[in-house]
Chain A
Amino acid sequence: MKSLFTIKSGGAASWAMRLAVAAVLAALMLWVPTRGSDSLIEVCTTAFTLMAAALSLNLLLGYAGQISLGHSAFFGIGTYTTAVMVTRWGWSPFHTLPVAFVLAFVVGVLVSLPALRIKGVYLALVTLALGMVFPQFIKWKKLSWLTGGAKGINDTGFKFTKDNPTYEIFGWNPWGNLRGQNVKPFYFWVGAIIVLVVYLICRGVVKSRVGRSLVAIRDNSTAAAVMGVNLPVTKGIVFGLSAAMCALPGSLSAIRTGTVTADTQLLTVAGSITFLVIMVVGGAGSLWGPIIGAAVYQFIIERTGGWTEPDAIPALFRPFFGWSKTAPGGGLFAIALILLMFVAPLGLVGLWRQHSVRLCRVVPKPAGTTTISVMAAAPAAVDETHTA
């Protein structure tokens, strides 16, 4: 395939492109919380929550190939750890994040123990059971002294008092007005930082010897074991790590909303499915897939959120959704998912990779210290068409 530009990986052009992307993202990160509307900030923060959860699932399912339909439970462990520690033991909300991380890691490793022996649809069922049991467990009467039962827990959020002063840099307040009513930019920042941390963890793992061994387990676990990959330990740790990362956005949602109940959508199996669909639409097994998937998902949900009356629906879509009394965002996203499976099984990122080659091809750095074939053994005639 002919491409318009060819740039070298690690070369000046490639770094310039990376810098440009980083600059655009940084500008957005500054513009939204300081200049954007309250609702935009809110939408972005929700998207961050979904991004972090989908990223964590992606490490487990997209890279290591271990399916989990129980990530809503790990998300919920984060939510409830924060809620319980803040309201019952008086912890500062942000100090509960590492606790939630560690607790979810331990639970994740424990769940992985039976999961080490099973794969595919059986693993899906075991983790599905976890996702279904979690809300019931939280609502269990004998635990209501801790979890508040079906009523949930109130006042779990961050208290903005004189002890939590605002910061100003040359008269400009990056956190938003914490003392007043407008605390939304603050949560935006926390959400962005959580996504960044989860992304960096995933990136570090993926682009290393461990990450290669995860993909090896996904592609052919017998061969991976022969290459020296310790299957039980690697699967156990990646399960725990994925669970731990998923607890972080869970904690954030408790801090942000101030009220938690076990019936919140993201804490039930529906949450697991949401994370899964976001990951698949964005692109499983790619670092940017879940981020893009969550952004698209939240955009669609937001745009169609008001489509509950025929008059509120744009004329083009009215014949399709006019009959519905509920917002069709989830359904639209499902249709997008089905269409994508035909057009781009590897999600939006896969679609981009497939077509961006026409515009710009990135040539990888040559590997190896020599470029001369020592044995000069001519392999079977293989031409470059296989790159397509």
Chain B
Amino acid sequence: MTLLDVEDVTMRFGGIVALDGLSFSIEEGHICGLIGPNGAGKTTMFNVVSRIYQPTLGSVRFRGEELLTVPAHAIARLGIARTFQNLALFPTMTLLENVMVGAHSQGRVGFGKAISRISAAGDNRRTRDDAGDLLHELGLGHLAFVPAAGLPFGTLKRLEIARALAARPSFLLLDEPAAGLPHGEVDELGHTISTIRDQFNLTVLLVEHHMSMVMSISDRVVVMEFGRKIAEGTPSEVQNNEKVIEAYLGTTT
């Protein structure tokens, strides 16, 4: 079943065309790699799907429903969660609190309940325990009460994944999760991503520059260049595609 359907999405910033009639779709349960040279429009695509950008043209459907009419804050409740390329954590909060905010879409305690204390304590306990469990699963349990500011980049990248998982998503967008990681940890992260996909029944859209990782864990790979899709297929199909080789290595002529 198709989970996400991107159709003819065009995004212009003034004179720059960041996305140019981009179309692709993702099957439920797949890990879909989105690759391309720098500036190809991958992060723009992410921001369109997570409703930070409103595209100029086109449509994005999630489970058959149009996503572009939904406000940004309602995305999480639909089951879409994402991480950020350059970290968008809450630096003054501890790791545990960061993950607890990630579960915001799961809670129902508003101002009224918070002030009157109705069901607030139970909500806090559940959220806290869930967040603690997630941190343990991602190997960050021992840092639960440490503020996020100042921790190593790789740790914070992992925290972003934990925070995104706290929303109990069905669709997870990972924006360069391995960027800045030492080589040994990249494979380990790839392993983590496949494991959480199975454990949480996720569909994953993965933007990444570490080709070995993308090729080893992706079911499908979409290749972009200058805002357009130049190839799509299984990792081995894409690796042998001439256009892809050209985009990455240039031609000999």
Tally of A interface residues using CB under 8 Å: 48
Minimum Cβ distance to chain B for residue A209 (Å): 4
CA distance A237 to B130 in the complex (A): 28
Q: Does A27 contact B (CB under 8 A)?
A: no
Q: Say yes or no: A379 contacts B129, CB within 8 Å.
A: no
Cβ distance A347 to chain B, nearest Cβ, rounded Å: 14
Flag if B136 contacts A227 (CB, 8 Å).
no
Q: Does A162 reach chain B (CB closer than 8 Å)?
A: no
Evaluate contact between A219 and B145: CB separation under 8 angstroms. Answer: no
- Chain B 92-104 against A: per-residue CB contact (8 Å), 1 yes, 0 no? 1100110011101
Chain B residues within an 8 Å CB radius of A246: none
Judge if B117 is at the interface, Cβ distance under 8 Å. yes
A228 to B106, CA, bound (A): 9
For B127, the chain A residues whose CB sits under 8 A away are: 209
> Is A226 an interface residue when CB atoms closer than 8 A count as contact?
yes
- A247 contacts the other chain (CB 8 A): no
Q: Is the CB of B90 within 8 A of A215?
A: yes
Set A201, A219, A241, A375: member contacting B192, Cβ < 8 A:
A375
- Whole-angstrom distance from the CB of B193 to the nearest CB of chain A? 11
Q: A212-B100, A228-B77, A228-B167 are in contact. Are A219 and B90 (CB under 8 A)?
A: yes
Partner of B92, one of A219, A241, A371: A219
List of B residues within 8 angstroms of A285 by Cβ: 92
Any chain A CB within 8 A of the CB of B29? no
A residues less than 8 Å from B84 (CB atoms) = 223
Which of the listed residues A211, A220, A226, A238 has the most CB atoms from chain B within 10 Å of its own CB? A226
B206 at interface (Cβ–Cβ under 8 A)?
A: no
Provide the residues of chain B in CB contact with A230, threshold 8 Å: 71, 73
- Knowing A210-B109, A211-B114, A373-B137, the reply to whether A228 touches B75 (Cβ < 8 A) is yes
Task: Report A334-377 residues with CB < 8 Å from chain B CB.
Answer: 364, 366-377
Given contacts A215-B90, A216-B101, A380-B155, contact A366 B76 (CB under 8 A): no
A223 and B72 alpha carbons, distance in the complex (Å)? 10
Q: Does A382 contact B (CB under 8 A)?
A: yes
Q: Are A209 and B131 in contact (CB under 8 A)?
A: no
Instruction: Flag if B88 contacts A222 (CB, 8 Å).
Output: yes
Q: Quick check: is B111 within 8 A (CB to CB) of the other chain?
A: yes
Closest 5 CB pairs of A and B: A368-B132, A367-B132, A228-B105, A228-B76, A208-B114
Extra A-B contacts (6), CB below 8 Å, given A377-B191, A380-B152, A386-B150: A210-B110, A212-B100, A215-B90, A225-B73, A226-B88, A368-B132
Residues of B with Cβ closer than 8 Å to A?
50, 52, 71-77, 81-82, 84, 88-93, 96-97, 100-102, 104-105, 107, 109-111, 113-117, 120, 123-124, 127-133, 135-141, 143-146, 150-152, 154-155, 158, 163, 167, 182, 185, 188, 191-192, 195
Sample (15) of A-B pairs whose CB atoms are under 8 Å apart: A209-B109, A209-B123, A215-B101, A219-B89, A219-B92, A219-B93, A223-B88, A226-B52, A228-B104, A228-B105, A367-B96, A369-B132, A373-B137, A373-B141, A387-B145
